[in-house]
Amino acid sequence: MWGKAKGSKKRALRIYFATDLHGSEVCFRKFLAAAKVYEADVIILGGDFAGKAIVPVLTENGSLRARVGGEEITVPESEWGRLSGDLGKAGLYPVRMESGELARLSGDEAALGRLFRSEIAAQMQRWCDLAAERLDPSVRCIITPGNDDPVDADPVIAAHPRVECPELELCDLGPVTMASLGVVPTTPWNTERECSEDELSKQIEEMLEQVPSGQPCILNLHCPPYASGLDDAPELDDTLKPVIRGGRPSIIPVGSHAVRDAIKRYQPVVGLHGHIHESRGVQKIGRTLCVNPGSDYSSGVLRGAVIDLAQDGSCLDFLLTTG
């Protein structure tokens, strides 16, 4: 009743999958801890690791001034550690600066973009170093980008000896081969990695055509399949505000047709998805188990999925986790 018994098959690989941390320091630390707590062989961070906002912290006469949660606050300079820690937990980038620099950034989008990219790259470097420091050598750590992650961050991860970044590549996990792609179909926000459904379909197909015949595979595609129940998000109007119908925000599927078609055609063992934080769930499309663990990074809660695979690549069991 609670899932099919898999007979005498033994677990050959345990994957822990999480996604959409959006710069949350506390969630990334939990992600690393998950390897030990859940006894995972591979931990995968499936995209949207970059934070979304910079909090300028003005230095004035020995005090620090910043806008946090809609309110302007002033704390002694000695409180910098606590302030930056609190902001980092929520996925914000605190940056100390003088008032002149703040004024300059306010009017210079290019400079602001560079600052974002540099903060994100610096954070990724710190995270990779932390992974090297904390993870058991036997645990593989894979971080792939999502649509909100700047492309400049990829080389930082790829260059790190402890972390793998197999974006748009096949990755051998032992019993299965994993194909990863962080690009999503066009969104209203014109984010870093978007393309048309046709282009997405082509990219997925090119990867999957390389999987050796008979080799079971899993897909690590940031965007969930269309109308799968893993892609329910509020419908937006032209001003990007939620549409209200019947006294509730109208919820519609916003996933990818290309991803759904690929899953139907190739029937991978598992589909690992993210992108839609509040559409946490599991669905079967044909024989494929599709998972979106959701995200609750702003509360400092790490949502994830533990997936057990057998030596023949079949999926033995799964569990969505909240930690």
Partner 1 sequence: MTSSEASVPAGAAKTGGTQSTRLFIRQTSGLVRELGIPAATGISLASVAVVNTFINFNAGLTDFTKSDMYLPLVAAAVIWLVAMFAYRYLLRAVPRAGGEYVYLSRIVSPAAGSVAGLGIAVVFTYVLSTNAHFAAQFTPFMLSGLGAAFHSTAVANAGNHLTSNIAIAWLSVVVMLIVAALSLFSVKIVARIIFWLIVLQVLAFLVLIGMLAFNSHADFTSALATYSNHPGAFQDIINTAKSNGVVFGTSIASAVAIIPFMVLNYNGVLYSYYVGGELRRPGRTYLYASAISIGVLVVLWIGVWALLRARAGLTFMQAQANLGVINPTAYGKITSLSSVAGGLGYGMVLSSDPITKILFATAVPLAEIAVNLAFLTVTTRVLFAQAFDRLLPVGVAKISDRNHAPNVAISIVLVIGIGFCFLTSLVNLGSIVALQSLFFALILLAGGIAATALPMRRADLIPTPGLPDDARRSWLRKVALVGGATTVLALFTIYELIAHSSVYGKFSWESILTLVIVLGAGPVIYLIARQVRRQRNSLDLDMAMRELPPE
Residues 246-265 that bind partner 1 (CB under 8 A): 246-254
DSSP letter for each residue of 75-106:
EEGGGHHHHHHHHHHTTEEEEEE-HHHHHHHH
Out of 104, 202, 241, 265, the only residue in the binding site for partner 1 (CB under 8 A) is: 241
Q: Residue 144's beta-bridge partner residues? A: 46
Q: Residue 192's beta-bridge partner residues? A: none
Output 136 or 209, the one with its CB closest to partner 1.
Answer: 136
Counting contacts by CB under 8 A, is residue 281 touching partner 1?
Answer: yes
Cβ burial, residue 1 (10 Å; 0-12/13-18/19+): exposed
Chain positions 93 to 112 lying near partner 1, rule: CB under 8 A, are: 99, 102-103, 105-106, 112
* Residues that contact partner 1, how many (by CB under 8 A): 100
Instruction: State phi, psi for 132 to the nearest 5 degrees.
Output: -65, -35
Angle (CA) 287 181 224, round 5°: 50
Output 125 or 300, the one with its CB closest to partner 1.
Answer: 300
Chain positions 10 to 69 lying near partner 1, rule: CB under 8 A, are: 20, 26, 29-30, 33-34, 37-38, 50, 52-58, 60, 65-69
- 3-state SS record for 186-213: CCCCCCCCEECHHHHHHHHHHHHCCCCC
Q: How far is the CB of 179 from partner 1 (least distance, A)?
A: 22
- In angstroms, rounded to a whole number, what is the distance separating the alpha carbons of residues 109 and 115? 10
Output 166 or 293, the one with its CB closest to partner 1.
Answer: 293
Chain positions 178 to 207 lying near partner 1, rule: CB under 8 A, are: 187-191
Q: How far is the CB of 13 from partner 1 (least distance, A)?
A: 13
Output 172 or 312, the one with its CB closest to partner 1.
Answer: 312
